[in-house]
Structure 1
Amino acid sequence: MAEIAFPYRIDARGRTAETSRTGHIRDLIEILLFTTPGERVMRPTFGANLLASVFAPTGAEEAAATLALIQSALQEHLRDLIEVQEVTVRAEESTLEATVVYAILETGETRADSFRRALP
């Protein structure tokens, strides 16, 4: 079954762009990672606030806390779709990259997807 692609766009046929189930789950992870809690009106706890963590103090404890928050958000909001196995985050120059290794519960398929954003 086809799902609506993220970000929303019109495809070459002039219709809403679609993606596969696997692509949709990847899109959901990306949305969750880069959404700030409180940003969604009807879902005030939705989001991992990843971009804000870049400006937090640095150190081993802060890095561990950030990863725990991300894993917690993924578990809370996507637990019916995925099982998170590993999360890594790194910032280089003006880019933030998060890599999530997860298993899709429907199929058992393990995937590793990376998500990048330019830092503000």
Structure 2
Amino acid sequence: MAKSTARLKFPLAVDQGLGRLREEPNPDAYIQQLIRQVILTGPGERVHRPDFGGGLRRHVFALNSFGGAALAETTVYQALDRWLGALIRVEKVEATPRDATLDVAITYVVLARGTRQYLNVEVA
């Protein structure tokens, strides 16, 4: 019997043309996906990890003020540091309230390559 040498590598993505798993070719896109997953998941949403997530969406419905934005900044920073601290170093998180949305700008360094990246997320 022939031994299989295929391995499952990370990061993963789904090939939209074939509908099959493939390795994510862009590591920066993979890390951005992880960041979004952490900050947009609310604590309690994951069954086996009830403390996972930053719960950013709940800040949209809180007082839409600069004080509320400061609290969102702290929450995002702490969640990213806790859950992705082995992959990235967060340099700055800026949250700006605007009507019924919260704009969040994250500056971080990818530790494996030492490159600075930026991610803007609008939460409505």
- TM bin, normalised by shorter chain, reads 0.7 to 0.9
TM-score of the aligned structures, taking structure 2 as reference length: 0.79
Contact 1:87–1:99 (8 Å) recurs in 2: yes
Identical amino acids, percent of aligned pairs: 30
Q: 2: CA distance between counterparts of 1:78 and 1:2?
A: 15
> Which of the two has higher C-alpha Rg?
2
> What is the total number of aligned residue pairs between the two structures?
115
* Aligned equivalent of 1:12: 17
List runs of 5+ in structure 1 lacking aligned partners.
none
Q: Give structure 1 regions of 4+ aligned residues with deviation exceeding 4 angstroms.
A: none
In the superposition, relative to structure 1, how do residues 59 and 116 fare at CA in structure 2: closer, same or farther (>3 Å)?
Answer: closer
1:1-120 to structure 2, matched below 5 A, reads 3-5=11-13, 9-16=14-21, 18-19=23-24, 20-93=26-99, 95-117=101-123, 119=124
List runs of 5+ in structure 2 lacking aligned partners.
1-8
- SS at the partner of 1:87? strand
* 1:5-35 Cα distance to aligned partner (Å, 9 max, x none): 3xxx551123135422221111000111111
TM-score of the aligned structures, taking structure 1 as reference length: 0.81
C-alpha displacement at 1:93, in angstroms? 4.6
The root-mean-square deviation of aligned C-alpha atoms, in Å, is 2.1
